[in-house]
Structure 1
């Protein structure tokens, strides 16, 4: 995935906003998958950036 930090926050807020709807459970699962994918993309150096991605996640 290639989300900017602002895009990632927007998606997380939108998925979190599904609370109380029929899509709450699937939205929560999608949010977890998004976070895991983004965390896996960080390089091992701990620089807070994905290897070769500039300032995008």
Structure 2
């Protein structure tokens, strides 16, 4: 069964625990965002740490 995406579909990533993010983490976030957007979903980071925010 395949469900059609709705405009209000979201992927929420809990970013409250990592205190840093390197190129591998950025690659994972980019891959998740690319896949979600291809299926009509939005991607959101929840509660990212200040060091992660600076990197982004």
Scaled by the length of structure 1, what TM-score is found?
0.35
Scaled by the length of structure 2, what TM-score is found?
0.36
Q: Which has the higher contact order (CA 8 A, sep 6+)?
A: 2
Structure having the larger proportion of residues in helix: 1
